[in-house]
Structure 1
Amino acid sequence: MDFMRFIFTEAKIRHFTLVMSVRMAPPLPLIFLLMIHNVFSENGLGVSYSHSHICALKNSSVIMNCNYTYPTGHQIMKLFWTKNPVQGVEPPDLSEDPEYSQRLQYLGDKQHNCTIRLSHVTHKDEHEYCFRFITDKTVKWLGHPGVTLTVTDLQVESPERVTEGDSVRLTCKSSCALTDGATFIWYRNSQPLTERRDRNNQLLLQSVRREDAGRYSCALHGHTYISPAVYLSVTYPPKKTSVIVNPSGEIVEGDSVTLNCSSDSNPPAEISWFKGGTTVGSGRIYSISNISSDHSGEYKCKSRYEDIDKYSDAVTLNVMYPPKSVSVSINGSAEIVEGDSVTLSCSSDSNPPAEISWFKGGTTVGSGRIYSISNISSDRSGEYKCKSINEHGQKYSAAVTLNVMYPPKSVSVSINGSGEIVEGDSVTLICSSDSNPPALNFSWFKENQSSAVGSGQSFSALQSGRFYCEAHNQHGSQRSDAVTVTVHGRKFLYAVAGVTGGLGGLIFIFIIVLLMRKKQRPNHIAQKQDDLYVNVSAHDGSLSESDAVNKNDALYSLITLNNFSHNQTEGKASDSEETEEIQYVTVLHHRNKEMNQPEETESQYDNIRKYQTDATRRSSDQMVEDQSVIYSTVK
């Protein structure tokens, strides 16, 4: 660079009006030109600037237009731009400053043009910039005052919030006045609003919608710099409030369920949750963990916006669960009487509804929630229970007892011992019955008598007759069949004792005789087996017609001894006295039913006949039957 020498003389400085203009060129973002006052001396030395002040946008390029003059005959030896000159100090060359060397470009020449371009300006570049040249005549000239550079950014000015339907105005502001004719571009959420390009730095939104809410920023056309974004909040009440259930499928007891209240409003509305008419929670989310059947029901949420409440539609939580609280209730009177109608109801809490089965003891007797028994009988008494079952489980109820009341039935009389007794003794009759409750009142009757002869479950009969009982409870009564009681006199007892003693004695004597005869037999005869037949028959009843003529009560025994040959079965008779004899004894006992004859007419006797064998009778010339009759009378 050539150096020029300047001769400093008294200079006249003329001031001109500052004019700011904008030149748009494709390769350069925005260029600011200055037309400022001229700084000249009387010898023709001077520097003129296009403007003394420049307001530049941050990150833009600034052009400082400059012209200089010097006297004829001088040559420029050196020229450069400097900043913030200090009197008495040689100003530095900005082209040699590392902060400017890459951004400062000299666009002038060594004749008269001293224009420069400074790129990517920031707030650090806010200084006073001056042009200096030196001639070969040792003349040094500094164009002071120079150009003052101010760097500004853009700011969007907007209200924080606006109500839906209102109008709002947004302004793109800078710290200094930008060049006239700048074109502004607006952005919402980083997307340009192409329809909003305007030379005005304001953006007008009429009848704001909720969709207009967002982050707004501005920029100048041709510049990459975009202002910081400002959020515009549009307030609006909720249009619709609704509830979303998650999960949306079948809900089983023990699951976790989340209810979400959707309410589109700005600012967000206050949310309250209701089950039926009861408040159960607040907030946009209502969660239920380990849900139970108690949580089943209708739920809805309420959004509150500026004292305005809006409710959602109700949603139903239908919680599935196995049967529980299974019980049986009996419909009817407290006391069940035979013939009544009884209904058993099975109550079961389950979802879905359970299938019901009925059991009596361990036997299935029916199905369905209702089990009815019409005209109930006593055999329906017992324990009943129901079983409730669905796809999630089953459960039995506790057993209930049907206690059917009924009047006495199957009434009968039992005799404790024999129905025949001796005069002076008694026989106990016991009355039994089937009834519920058990019969407590028993009455005893004798046939052909209208009045009762006794009471209580047992009765002692002292006389002959036919007796029956009647059993009573609060539901009715029933009589038994009659039983017969026979009472004998004391004489009958003595007769029986005598006959018994006589028979015993005769049998004993007969056994002794047999043993003695057995010892007297020959050895070969003794080896033969004796046959002893004893026929005893006792007749208790009326005598035969042939004996009835006696017309007395006779008690007698007949013992008959018959001797037969042992070899009679072979058809041969033996004359030997040693032949074995077969003895037959017959005891007959007859008693007349009439026991009221005088004592002296009663007789007891025994008739014992002894018969010899057929051989003996044939050998005897007399053929006389040796017969012995023994009569004995016992009184």
Structure 2
Amino acid sequence: MFLYHFTATSFTISGNSTGTDGASVSQGDNLQMICFSSRNDILLVDWYNKPRDNNYFPTSPTVVMKLDANGTCLFHPSYLVPTNMNCGCVSISNYTCTLISVETDMKGDMWRCKFAYGTQASSTLAYTNELTIDLTVGITSTLISSPIDNPVSVIVNTEGTFQCQTSPGNPVASVVWYKDNKTTSTADDIQITSGTSTSSTPDGDLIVTHGTLTLQVQRDDQDLGVYCRARNMEQWFTSGTKMINVLYGPDPPVCKANNVNVSPSLIVIIGSMFSISCTADSNPLPTTYLLSGPDGINLPLSFTGITRTQAGSYTVEARNSMSATGSGSPVTARNLTSFTIDVLYLPWMPTIRVDGSTVKGMVNIIEGNSKVFNCSTDSNPASSYSWTYPRGSTANRALQ
């Protein structure tokens, strides 16, 4: 008569590899399974295998073995050891079976042992825990799957997203990201620790690992390279490098006329001809420079015979169009600089006023009376004045 006794402390099954219960094994490697009991009165050990697609363990064992009184390991003739296994009796309490060259179709298979112990007249049965085989398959490559473009154009102060993908493997791989310091060695490259995440998707019996980098791009990141490294076993695999092309709007334009900066003020002589040329740092370079002033907007940058009415305040606006990788529509950026144009011109014919009235020709004054003569004219810069009269001359604007 058999008595069934279930316990996880006195009867165990484990593997000699890694992972949970030592059951994670590389494809093609052997896995030794050990069924162990703390008792020294073991009569019989049955090995049971449940394939991963089965819901229950079979009622019939795969292998039945025992260690006899002479120390010989005996196997039941009805349950011979399969050709892909080697089994043996280590001691009265320790029994092993080795799976030879574990393959992918064994992943997820479960094993357990049933011990019969006590005496032939009165024995007890006890099951071990269940051992699940996990197949470890090393990845063989990794690449940056998105964006596809290289270089990758990103607008300054926005986020660029990069996707790293491994070849199928098991378990999930670790993914790390680096900034390329543009040297021939990777030893001085800087690991990126923020803005990273990892996910995975199944690929048959294996797993594809995906790493994501979300990078806030600054202007000094121009021509920065980023790449990922991944591993799920000992060997690291490195992707290619994606270069970052940082797009940014124009700085305030620097404008010149006749090789002289127009800001804050450009001084020219009336009737002169000149052109204004502007530059602004941006990526890409500005496509348009728009001049606005007293005569309106979108003015030409060339002046042909400048007039007095064209003096005043001006602005030049620089514009560029930025198309980020993966973006649907371009972004227009603009910046401007302001300056004034000061037009110099000669004095017009002076005007003489006596007691507030404009006079020409001869002025009659009664002897003994006094009059104030004022002279004025329009010019830039303001004119100086001189008077010539019978008693002499003066440089004052008013003659009294």
TM-score (norm 1): 0.33
**Which of the two has greater helix per residue?**
1
Q: Look at both structures and tell me which one has the larger radius of gyration over its CA atoms.
A: 1
